[in-house]
Every structure is written in C-alpha cells, then in structure tokens.
Amino acid sequence: MRFAWTVFLFVSCSLSAQDFTEFPRTQAVVEILVTEHGFDRAQVENWMISGSYREAPSRNLAAPAETTKKYAQYKPMFLGKDTIRKGQKFALEYSELLASAEAEYGVPVSIIVAIIGIESRYGQSSGRHGTFNSLGSLAVTEGRRADYFQREWIRFLVIAREQGLDPLKVKGSYAGATGYPQFMPTSYQAYAVDHDKDGDIDIWSDPYDAIGSVANYLNENGWRTGATIVSSATVTDPNSAVKVNSFDRSRTLAEVEQLGWFSAIRESGEAQVFPIRLDAEEGTQYWLGYRNFWVISRYNRAIAYSMAVFQLAEALEQK
C-alpha cells in the first residue's frame, strides 16, 4: 500500500516517532532505492513502517568511549586477560588463513587479530543495535552528517539484498557498523574480500573473509610492511609547543626533536610522526606514532583506539 507522502511531509518530525514514515527525509531514500536500485516499492515501504527511530545512535555518536574516557579507563576494556586468551585461541584456530592474509597484504597477524578482537570480541559480540534502525535514525536526524548516513543506509540495504540478509534482523554498532570487522556499508563495498575464495564475501559469519577484509582495509589505506607503528618517547620539556593527540600530518620527527621529543625507535628525520600523551594507569606516557599508527586510525580516528590495537597486538605476540 502506497504511503500518503503528502500527509507525512507535514507531520512534525517528533523524536518519539514510531517508524520512519514520519520523517520527511525518508521519502528520498525510498525513491532512490526504487528508481536507482530496482527495489520493490511495497517492500521498502514495509521496512520503513516496521523500523523505528532510536535516540541512542545520536547520543552515543556524540560521546564515544575512545574520546571521552582517559586511556587508563579505555585500555582495560580491550586488554584484559580474557581478551588476550581468546585472541590467542582465534589466532591458532585460523592460523593458516591469517598467515596467508599477512603474506598477501603485508599486515601482521597480530594486528589483524587485535582489530577483530577490539571490534567484535573475535566475532562473538558484533553488536546489539538493529543496523537498519541505527542507520535510519542517523540518516533522518543527524544534522550535517545526515547525508552521509543516508548513503550508508541505502548501501546497507543493497548489501543485504546481495547477501540474502533480512535487513531488519542484522545487528551491529550504534553507528551502523556490522560483522566481525565492524565495517560500515561503504567500507564493505570498498574493502571486503572473498579471502577463502568460496565465491561469497561474508563478514558476518565467515571469519575467513573477515580476516582478509581487515588486512585489505589496512593495506589499501597505506600500510607499510615491516615499518614502525609507534614508539615510546622521551620528552625533555612536556610544556613545549607540540600539538599532542592529533592526527595532523604536518609534523616530522626532526621537527619534534627540536622541541624535545625523542623517539626510542629512530627513523628518518623526515618521517611523519604523531606526538601522543596518554593518561595511563602508570601515569603520563609519551609516544610517537609513525605512519602505520595513522593507518590504523583510518579504522577509528582516535588516538586511544590505535594505541589499544597496537598494545593488544603486542600482548598477543608476547604470548
């Protein structure tokens, strides 16, 4: 049954709306899905009625743990003994395909496993939020980012059709990321690979494809095989004019050395670096991230996230 869109467009966009038909932006999504992607109009409209707006995505998006918690609080969330133990088990169980992913994409096994561990607890906890509702809620109300989430919402439905998934049953993060590697729909389309060569790209139930997709993601974003990720630093003047905890790419090692920051792992003076100050359990720590540290941040643009990946990878290697 066709929606009476002329009526809905005049309905107040109440945050307590029961479904997406009460939001004017929804009509554009329906039209794109039907006219550009060949979806059945009745099916799409049924999804819009069956789905429901959620306030949690916008609220959580405004205050993610990686930017609101001190590192001393953030680190234990991902570097507990249980996380490390399960990471070891995951690495052993999928050792062959992890090794082939490292050989093909140049990304260390420990980094691949650490990302999957942080993102989804090695596939055991890929999210509790309905992806359709999360993306839809952000697409219809999230201010300047609404266009971005609208595109992700549309891509998610295209992917769900390709994979034979019920879009109303897929679970993921509050921001709409799904699967072992917690890819947004755009990332799935750009980076997901058929690592086990079975003719299907499945990051939701196939750890093999998830492994290859994480490695491909980092490789495509500029991972340098064997290069330094991050190094501890000695700082002679903590009050020097060094911009810390930023992914500003304008600073070189030589420049920060002149300001009293010295890397324990010495690379070329022209190497791009990212000065880091962490409020860790042991007190203030100073680090210098190199290019591969920045590459990890393409997954999640937060210093705490990239550092947690690195330190979990180190813990897995030590074990």
Domain ranges of the chain: 5-53+128-178
Residues 168-176 have a mean pLDDT of 96
Mean pLDDT of the chain: 92
pTM: 0.91
pLDDT at 10: 36
Instruction: Map tokens 């038909």 to a residue.
Output: 21
| Residue 2, pLDDT above cutoff 50 | no
pLDDT at 238: 85
Instruction: List the 261-263 sheet strands across, edge first.
Output: 261-263, 230-235, 283-289, 274-280
Residues 233-246 have a mean pLDDT of 90
| Residue 196, pLDDT above cutoff 50 | yes
| Residue 198, pLDDT above cutoff 90 | yes
Which range, of 27-41, 105-119, 149-163, 271-285, averages the lowest pLDDT? 271-285
Q: Quick one: CA dihedral 79, 85, 87, 91, positive or negative?
A: positive
The percent of residues in the chain predicted with pLDDT above 70, rounded, is 94
Contact 217, 181 (CB under 8 A): yes
Residues 21-36 have a mean pLDDT of 96
Residue type for 130, please? G
pLDDT at 42: 98
**Pair of tokens at residue 52:** 């429901």
| Residue 294, pLDDT above cutoff 70 | yes
Query: Residue 71 to residues 109, 236, 307: CA-CA distances in angstroms?
Result: 24, 22, 9
| Residue 8, pLDDT above cutoff 60 | no
Annotated catalytic residues are 119
The correct answer on CATH 1.10.8.350 for the domain covering 5-53+128-178 is yes
What is the biggest distance separating any 2 CA atoms in the chain, rounded to whole angstroms?
71
Q: What is the C-alpha separation between 98 and 76, in angstroms, rounded?
A: 25
pLDDT at 319: 63
Contact 249, 313 (CB under 8 A): no
| Residue 7, pLDDT above cutoff 70 | no
